[in-house]
Amino acid sequence: MKTYETKDIRNVGIVGHGHCGKTSAVAGLTFTSGASSRLTRVDEGNTITDHDEEEINRKLTISTGIAAIEWNKTKINLLDTPGFNMFINDAKATLIAADALVIVVDATAGIEAITEKMWEYGEQRALPRAILVTKLDRDRASFDRALESIHARFGRSAIPIHLPLGAERDFKGIIDVIRMKAYTYPLDGNGRGVESEIPAEYAEAAKHAHEELVEVVAEGEDDLMEEFFEKGTLPEEHIIRGLDEEMRETRVFPVLCMSGIHNIGTDRLLDLFVEAFPSPCDRPATKLTLNGKEIERKPTDSEPAAAYVFKTTADPFAGRISYFKVISGCLRNDVNLQNLNRGSAERLAHISAPVGKTLVPVNELHAGDIGAVAKLRDTLTGDTLTDKSSPVVFPAVTVPEPSIAFAVEAKSRNDEDRMGNALHKILEEDLSLRFFRDPQTKEFLVAGAGQQHVEIAVSRLKKRYGVDVTLKAPKIPYRETIRGTADVQGRHKKQTGGHGQFGDCWIRMEPLPRGARFEFVNDIFGGSIPKNYIPAVEKGILEAAERGFLAGYPMVDFKVVLYDGSYHDVDSSELSFKLAARKAFRNAMQTAKPALLEPVMNVEIQAPVEFAGDLMGDLNGRRGRISGMDTQGGTQIIRAQAPMAEMLNYQNDLTSMTQGRASFTMEFDHYDFVPQPQAEKIIAASKAARTGEEEVEDE
């Protein structure tokens, strides 16, 4: 692949809801451009951008695939992003490298939840957008119905520049309403649709669409508006110029037609990329940090070199592969750059242009281009590589916290030894995964955006690294506390042949506010207990509290005042007072009204408005409390608090309730009392489990 200057580069994010046809569209674009020798299909598992084994097996995009193609002396970097809620964080992280978006809409489904989210993301970054209506060759496909949903959500500025020629199985081409020509497929020998006059039965619709397009384009430019009022229309070259300018200024969003499977309309979309989409030098300068101050770095070769790593993959054979966008300067093979995030130097040997999993070697990459390099020593996703003479840092991309966690357990000792290293390699390429040990339950947990997200990570563990583990629902980290007070004695006395054991203490116990954990007060006067034994009393209380009283969960949020006791000059010891304190704790539990606490989570759900009633009813059934609601467009945002125990399977239930159109996030907020009916079940289950463990030990 040849080297392209910044003005001849286009970085295009292909986004939309899951199964809307993004990967099929990219397959058609790569075939038409000559980057692939045959038209590949998702259902056959041979597309360029869905090359991971999990993606092939599940027939969905899990992480962003990148394909560099060439068309009309222009390099186009296509970013094929995931379209399901649980993988949306990967899409947003990698779209940092995009300079424009193609919003893909399924002609059978119209605007869907993720379509709206990616549109909002494009608005936040002021990215030019085009809308691509796909799957027009499917049964029940309707361009008019899809266009209605587009206008309902995005307004009249989303204007068709294509109309379909034929419908459903008879879809055979497109009508270009700018040039007022028809194009039928398959492609001719020059890689183009066959041009012809518009058939008579489509002439009226094409004329109406052309007039609407002229009006929208004319409204955006004063000189075009004057020309429109004077002549009643605009010539083709003025329509194209106005459309290009207004699209780059995000005032107009062209709507196109396509079929990825039959490769209809791909050449027209590639032309739009070249003619109307911005190059990196048409976009605003990138904001970077230099010595604590924010600066702007223009995407030109004359600036010092800087590259941002937006994606990392872990290949068991090739090692770590880092995908980066050249923010400024020109990167050449064997260049040495500084990684300020890690405080290390990196040598970029054998830089490449990614075409799916194939890395095509290049000698250099100009500002604004996207590339890949293997085996960087320390660099990970989110790091900036920069010229040592002008060190800068790209602002970190914020990744939301995972919404669900599962306990992970190695199947053998060998798997256990290798599990940690293998999981950390997977975490390097997926920033939205977490791996940690719960200090209370002693379990290793893998947390992600959903159950399928975690299952995919576990599947990769086995297929890539041969580590076999099982997933289980995590133990709920219940805690115990007290509601009342107690004033008790703890006395330990044991006589043996030699020195005996004697410890005696009086304590008052009372509850503390939630989150206060534990407070110990030494209120001994007159030396009834020597000072050197006081820490032993506190330690005995803490050890007893760690084991709990009701169900074996740690006791928290209580205060102990040690106010009296007695000792023996010979038989007293630290051990004696520790054992006396444990007895005092158990005695106190008889009158201090012990109770169970459970973790309560903050939950935020985003779903289409029509599902709001069902979702709130479901949350009420989970002992949830609605704390607020907002509406953004057609999306309802529900905020609630619900017990963690009721939310373990929520991902699957939410998917079934909303046909996969909703997402949720969940994070810990506070502990609260468990209602008595649930508490009795938890205590009974804990006693049964401990009885079973004791029986096993006896055997």
Where in the chain are the domains?
6-198+252-282, 286-386, 404-472, 480-592, 597-677
pTM beyond 0.85: the answer is no
Residue 45, pLDDT score: 80
What is the model's pLDDT at position 699?
38
* Predicted local confidence at residue 698, as pLDDT: 42
The predicted pLDDT at position 425 comes to: 87
Instruction: Please say whether the structural domain 286-386 has been given the CATH code 2.40.30.10.
Output: yes
Cis peptide before 186 (omega within 30 of 0): yes
Per-residue pLDDT at 691: 67
**Is the CB of residue 400 less than 8 Å from the CB of residue 40?**
no
286-386 and 480-592: same fold? no
CATH fold of 6-198+252-282 reads: Rossmann fold (3.40.50)
**Partner residues linked to 461 by β-bridges:** none
- The answer to whether the CB of 52 falls within 8 A of the CB of 118 is no
Burial of 338: CB neighbours in 10 Å, binned 0-12, 13-18, 19+: buried
Superfamily the domain 404-472 falls into: Elongation Factor G (Translational Gtpase), domain 3 (3.30.70.870)
pLDDT score of 386? 94
The pLDDT value recorded for residue 695 is 46
Any residues with CB less than 8 A from the CB of 513 and at least 6 apart, and which?
557
Using alpha carbons, select from 278, 332, 341 the residue that is nearest to residue 308: 341
- Find out whether 35 and 19 touch, Cβ atoms under 8 Å: no
CA distance 156 to 432: 36
- 388 phi and psi, to 5 degrees? -60, -30
Buried-state track 11-47, b at ≥16 Cβ within 10 A, e below 16: bbbbbbbbbbbbbbbbbbbbbbbebbeebbebeeeeb
In contact, 4 and 72? CB cutoff 8 Å: no
- Annotate 137-190 with three-state secondary structure: CCCCCCHHHHHHHHHHHHCCCEEECEEEECCHHHCCEEEECCCCEEEECCCCCC
Instruction: Enumerate residue ranges in the chain where pLDDT < 50.
Output: 694-699
The number of angstroms, rounded, from the C-alpha of 632 to the middle of its chain's C-alpha atoms is 20
- Correct CATH for 597-677 of 1.10.10.10, 3.10.20.30, 3.30.70.240, 3.40.50.300: 3.30.70.240
Radius of gyration of the chain (CA): 32
User: Positive or negative, the Cα torsion across 359, 361, 362, 363?
Assistant: positive
Each residue of 522-580: pLDDT tens digit?
Answer: 998 888 999 999 999 999 999 999 999 999 889 999 999 999 999 998 889 999 999 99
Which is nearest to 165 in space by CA: 217, 206, 110? 206
Segment holding 505, helix H or strand E? strand 501-511
Token representation of residue 151: 């206008």
Average pLDDT, the chain: 90
Which stretches of 622-672 are DSSP H helices? 650-658
Q: What is the pLDDT of residue 439?
A: 75
At 104, give phi and psi (nearest 5°): -90, 130
Asked: is 480-592 a CATH 3.30.230.10 domain? The reply is yes
> Helix, strand, or coil here: 57?
helix
Short-list 252, 283, 242, CA closest to 7: 283
